[in-house]
Every structure is written in structure tokens, then in C-alpha cells.
Amino acid sequence: MARHFLTGNELSAPELEALLARAVQLKDDPLSSRALAGKSVALVFQRPSTRTRVSFEVGVHELGGLPVVLRPDELQLSRGESPKDTSLVLSRHVAAMGLRTGSHALVEELAAHASVPVFNMLTAEHHPCQPLADLMTMRERFGPLAGLKLAYVGDGNNVARSLAVLGTMAGVDVAVASPAPYALERDSVPLSPEATGRLTLHEDPREAAAGAHVLYTDVWVSMGDEETAAERRELLAPYRVDEALLEVADPDAIVLHCLPAHPGEEISEELLYGERQRIWDEAENRRHAQKALLELLVGTATLSP
């Protein structure tokens, strides 16, 4: 039976720990694994992408596989073919398939009918590949993750939700601060029963950031939010990650951002490019963490701590 990766909860806590360790090994020696030799991976992009596309396409290549990039106008999905039929066909040709789209129900439907692993490259509800890179970056900087605190400040969106799911599974305390209209709803976060970290929700960004080892943010206006852009910018203005907010964090705190960034909005230019950030390491680590994930999903590796 195919193993999927849709929300992050498909991993156990020991598997997550081992996956992050494997990602570090793959970063040290990017061409050491041929897990996808002779195999192809379908990468379906219904939403624009820079980091996700490049990191997956290059990662599949480094694992010895062929990335098959498919855009909306290149698929019969755009002409009414069902997700079920699309999944049944792709399963006959590729070793795994990823989807970057809006509806989370669509990736769930593909997985329900696939005989190969399906992985979520982004939906409106979850972005589980991003926290793999984030946790790897934190591990590089701090070592063991258990007991660290990450403060996410801004829109309580798919990135915040996925950070809560996988961060708490790794033993990280995740504090999310958002204005009430854009708050992350606790009931929308499927926390793992294996989670040892805590999730706390705040309205005051300074309260969330107090003592944090990581300050994290995302854009204020995501894809699909354009109609509410003015309202979002007004309500989220107090949630900027800047030097003043960094002062209440841990003295050794680092700054992360899933990108793309808008300097002067959700993050100050000084922090985006300054000495305290690990944002560009984080962007690179997407590739390494996702390669470790692909090794697991295609069944060539059994991860153990």
C-alpha cells in the first residue's frame, strides 16, 4: 500500500527525527543516494512556485530520478478529467507524485486513488514540506530540537498550521501570534498524539516571541488573498518581525521566513539580510529534507533514529 505525505501526521516522531538526520547527511553529500535511479516523479503545479519547484526538481535529479513537471494547461484536469482518473493514470507511469494546489481535498482525492506515494507540495490548509526544512535549519543551529521555542508571527495560515503539527511532534514549543480575524484555529490543527511540544495561540506578538529561539513569519497576502490585501496589511502591521520584536526573544534567536519576502512589510530588511537570519540556509534545506522524504516514500529507506 502506498504511503502518502499530506499533513505531516503520516510520520511518527522517531521517523521525523531520523528523516532530519538523514537530510543532514544528504546535504553533506548531495549525490550519495541513488534512491530514484530509473524512476520518475510527477510534480504537478497548479500554483506558482520558485523554491518548491526548484528544490523538488533538482532533488529528484540528484537522487537519480527524472522529474516530470506538469502545469495546469498541460493536464486534462483543466478540461474536466477527474482527479481519480488522473491519479490512476499517473500511478502507472511514475514512482510518486506531488501536487501544489489550492484545495486540500484535491490532494486527498489523488492519494485515495493512487497506487504510488502522493506528497503535498502546498495546499491552502497545509504546507508540510516547509517545516521539514525549517526543523532541519533549527537542528543545524541549535542541535537537539526538544525544548526549543518557535514563535510564528503573522497570518495563521497553512505554514503556521504545518509548523504547529511537525514542530510539536519534534518537541518544539510553537507559539502562534495573529490578529483575531486571521488567527489559527486550534481545532484546525491536527496535532499528533506523539507531540511532546506545546502549541500556544496568542494575539500579542511580543507575548508569543518572549524567549523564543526562532522568530518566524510569512507574507501577509498569500495566493488567493488578493481581495483582502488592504485589510490584511492594516491588521497585520503590528505583527512585523523586526529588531524590536527580536529584542524580546532569546539572545541567540534566529529569524526564519518561508519566502517570498516583502521587506518592510512582514519582515524588516535588516533582519531579512542580517546576521541573525538563517533564511537562505532554510531555502536550500528544502531540497535536502525533501530528498530524505522521497527516500522514505518510495520505500528505499526505512528510517530509524
Residue 100 is among the residues annotated as catalytic for this protein:
yes
- Of the listed 51, 286, 287, 288, which one is catalytic? 286
Residue 129 is among the residues annotated as catalytic for this protein:
no
**Contact in structure between 9 and 192 (CB atoms under 8 Å):** yes
CA distance 134 to 258: 8
- Of the listed 218, 278, 287, 290, which one is catalytic? 218
Q: At what angle do helices 279-297 and 51-62 cross, to 10 degrees?
A: 50
What domains sit in the chain, N to C, each tagged with a CATH number?
13-127+286-297 (3.40.50.1370), 130-283 (3.40.50.1370)
* Degrees, nearest 5: CA angle 167-172-177: 75
- Is the Cα torsion angle 71, 295, 290, 132 positive or negative in sign? positive
- Of the listed 4, 51, 130, 277, which one is catalytic? 130
Residue 127 is among the residues annotated as catalytic for this protein:
yes
Write out the chain's pLDDT in tens, 305 residues.
899 999 999 999 999 999 999 999 999 999 999 999 999 999 999 999 999 999 999 999 999 999 999 987 888 876 778 999 999 999 999 999 999 999 999 999 999 999 999 999 999 999 999 999 999 999 999 999 999 999 999 999 999 999 999 999 999 999 999 999 999 999 999 999 999 999 999 999 999 999 999 999 999 988 677 878 899 999 999 999 999 999 999 999 999 999 999 999 999 999 999 999 999 999 999 999 999 999 999 975 444 44
CA distance 129 to 166: 10
CA distance 235 to 182: 9
- Of the listed 134, 258, 278, 287, which one is catalytic? 258
User: Could you please report the per-residue DSSP string of 144-206?
Assistant: --TT-EEEEES---HHHHHHHHHHHHTT-EEEEE--GGGPPPGGG----TT--S-EEEES-HH
Residue 61 is among the residues annotated as catalytic for this protein:
no
- Of the listed 22, 127, 161, 287, which one is catalytic? 127
> Hunting for cell 519566502 — which residue is that?
259
pLDDT at 116: 97
CA 113 vs CA 67, 83, 122: distances in Å: 21, 9, 19
Residue 286 is among the residues annotated as catalytic for this protein:
yes
Phi, psi of 69 (to 5 degrees): -85, 125
pLDDT at 243: 98
Residue 46 is among the residues annotated as catalytic for this protein:
no
- Of the listed 4, 51, 100, 240, which one is catalytic? 100
pLDDT at 301: 45
**Contact in structure between 38 and 246 (CB atoms under 8 Å):** no
